Amino acid sequence: MSLSTLRFAGQRAFRNSSMGAPVAMTQRRFLNLHEYQSMEIFNKFGVGVPKFVVCKDKAQLGSLYDGMGTDCVVKSQVLAGGRGLGHIKENNFQGGVHVAKDKAHAIEIGEAMMGNTLVTKQTGAEGKPINCLLLVEKFEIKSERYFAILMDRSAGGPLVIGSKTGGTSIEDIAAADPTAIIKMPIDIMQGMSEAQAKEMAISMGFEGDQSKQAAESIMGLYKVFIECDCTMVEINPFAELTDGRVMVCDGKVGFDDNAAFRHKELHAKRDTTQEDPREVAAKEFDLNYIGLDGSIACMVNGAGLAMATMDLLKLFGGEPANFLDVGGAANEESITAAFKILQGDPNVKSIFINIFGGIMRCDVIANGVVAAIGNVGLTKPLVVRLVGTNVDQGKKILADSGLNVEAFDDFTEAAKKAVALA
């Protein structure tokens, strides 16, 4: 992830942290589910989905194929788009989605994909591991539509979006013809009515019995969005099949981590193998961490200061390796965890700790740093800048520790030194 793509998230985090609540800001990585997991939820809420089965052991692929009783499409399950145009990293097998000609072909596809790594335009060169496959009934699509629900600030609640054109990027559709995008704000207190669902279905080009089927699925999708505390439900394509059925053929659903306490079973489905292991480790200690592409590791308290720190490093020719806000409740355990993550990054050449002691006191940070280095060692050059509450005590703790630490009072000088050491 680049620094520019992080900026909005950091600004939002700064607005949240500026409210002054004396608690640590926890990392928010909205829960994403695999396609098969979303289809299971859709099925539960009465949304039209094709027949499917999940394979988590490639030795069972043949029997699962037989059990489907129909021709199948074999789809890799990774949390990234562009699977059909991707390739397998280990054997350069092309495509993460294939129509199986027969049982033998399905097994061949499974052998090539299962347990390997899929690289797509969204995964980056490192790719994502394929731990399971989805077998979906083969069907012919007569026409494709696009459908989504998301929270919209200007609408003051859920916004339903549709288009008569689907199967491709909604951004491309909007760029080619802005009038092709249908928007319907929904009163969150009233909810979506059957009349609104029917109106949206017709506006998306469904007619006759297909409009009724589409409206039923739209109502089901809205229930998913509200009852599961979703941040987004996106269906592409929302298709009419040649046999007359209306189906959700592919979907992407995001869930709000803030509502995890209401949906423990749902959030237990989280697949951490699809995430940056550094971010997974950070979340266990309530560290607000996002990995970046640079060589200077940053440990800062406060999202606004973290963004300013990264900007200053960039100004002096450096590249931040991460966004890391330890928040206002950091302790020896969390700082030790942070050091392990920072030093474990092979791209990191220097570490810059920049603390403004407000809620978090400088002596607490200093004690945590000394203890953390005692636990995990110090293998990278370290620059520390402490300002604020108990700063003198913090400086004394570092000075008395005997550690090889470059200490500064001035923000600019500290940033320049971190860049030089990197």
Active site residues: 146, 234
| SS3 per-residue string spanning the chain | CCHHHHHHHHHHHHHHHCCCCCCCCCCCCCEECCHHHHHHHHHHCCCCCCCEEEECCHHHHHHHHHHHCCCEEEEECCCCCCHHHCEECCCCCECCEEECCCHHHHHHHHHHHCCCEEECCCCCCCCEECCCEEEEECCCEEEEEEEEEEEECCCCEEEEEEECCCCCCHHHHHHHCHHHEEEEECCCCCCCCHHHHHHHHHHCCCCHHHHHHHHHHHHHHHHHHHHCCEEEEEEEEEEEECCCCEEECCEEEEECHHHHHHCHHHHCCCCHHHCCHHHHHHHCCCCEEEECCCCEEEEECCHHHHHHHHHHHHHCCCCECEEEECCCCCCHHHHHHHHHHHHHCCCCCEEEEEEEECCCCHHHHHHHHHHHHHHHCCCCCEEEEEEECCHHHHHHHHHHHCCCEEEECCHHHHHHHHHHHC
